[in-house]
Structure 1
Amino acid sequence: AHLGGSPAHLGGFTCTPGGVTCTPGGVTCTQGVTCTPQLNLRSCLTCRSPVSLSLTCFRYLEFSSVSLNRSKRFSNLIHRCLSTVPSRLCVPFNPAEFWSCYTFHNKVVTLYLRCLPKSQHALVLERLRYAMPNNTELGLRLLHQEWQDGNMEHLKFQVRMLSSHSPKCLAYWNIAIAVEKELKLTSEVRRLYHQALTNLPLCAELWKDVNTHTHTHSDSLPVSHSSRMLKMF
């Protein structure tokens, strides 16, 4: 079914218009190249722009997931697509600067996890996070999965690594502090608040939380320490 006009339905999913032809043997790009699981996806799509490349790759993965599903070939295909589509986008008129966009990569991860049993989700997310250490959304997704699985100690370990790698990410600090509060480790909570404020001294939300925590636990905190936390900066 050629996707040049109205959407076409193949194998239980919908392919939207975009100049891609889906056939039982693979996906044919507008350049006339047919991509099959046996071919290197990088070599057959290098001629496309980043936006077109991501669209074509994702449609190809959706098409392949129907037939390959949990096979090793589909896993290899996922990793090839993740490495093929760039996450760095150049700032217009300034090629020396760039910004990171993991929108496509996170969509691929979602598609991949739908094809795997839940028992493998945490392990797969951890491996993918090591491959994309700057992908904040992926890191948060890993932490949420660890929490759903009830692995508090592993969650504590992961969030410490993530907050060390991305100390400007408020979400990581909030989760790290919440974990220590859940474990009722007051001294660790104070230490993490101090570290978070060192990295985010102008974050109003963080200062509000520190103020609330300090007054809530004023009976268990020395007065000198409470004053120090509020006057550090």
Structure 2
Amino acid sequence: MMLMLFSVCAFAQKQIDQTFDASAVKNIDLFFKYPELVKIKVWDKNEVNIKGQVEIHNGEFDEDFELSSKVSGGKLMIESNIKNIDNYKNYQVYTDKDEDGENRSITISKNGTTISTGKSGRYTNGINISIVLEVTVPRSMAVVLDARYGLVEVLQSPKQLDVEARYGGVDVQIDETESLDLEASTQWGQIFSNLETKVEIGGDDSLGKWMKAHASIKSGSQRLKVESQYGHVYLRKN
């Protein structure tokens, strides 16, 4: 019975594997509104590759998730979308905590119907959404990532990376053998670090005030800026 249940769940997931040409651009903008987790990596190709798994209402509405792109002014813009999300207008959004205490689940409600994302969402009379994306970007490019509700994991960073995870948090792995100029900030969360490099803390750590951190590793030419208004920021040595 357990094996059968696992097989059904695995079959229900939609697999994402899309590649976008970045050979004619210098900048990349990524906007992912609903994924619960976005992982960032780099490679030496002039392409953006996005892999992942999508499950919406146990697979029934997986095809509603789509990725779109356009090129304008030397910039590649990639955006995720759930086509029928407009059926839930006037919804309210709030974050909940998972078993680790992190703000990783989001609930959208309207007239008794609930759409939940994240590890500990409430699925009462509603549609559960689970979207996890792994994004590989060119190492030499400037990248902006806006992940509105999800957690962002920076496994590797391109030459310049700006991350905003407004409701989720940011978890950054940092190789301290490479040069890097790092900035991090949060308004309602905290900044945690186990780096060997000295991290200078500024701003105000009072609740609702912006807390900021800065570190310069080997007079870094590479730049990384991360911000989460409501979530925590983790700076981890690789």
Q: Which has the higher contact order (CA 8 A, sep 6+)?
A: 2
Q: Name the structure where strand makes up a greater proportion of residues.
A: 2
Name the TM-score, length of structure 2 as normaliser.
0.28
Name the TM-score, length of structure 1 as normaliser.
0.28
Rg bigger for which structure? 1
Q: Name the structure where helix makes up a greater proportion of residues.
A: 1
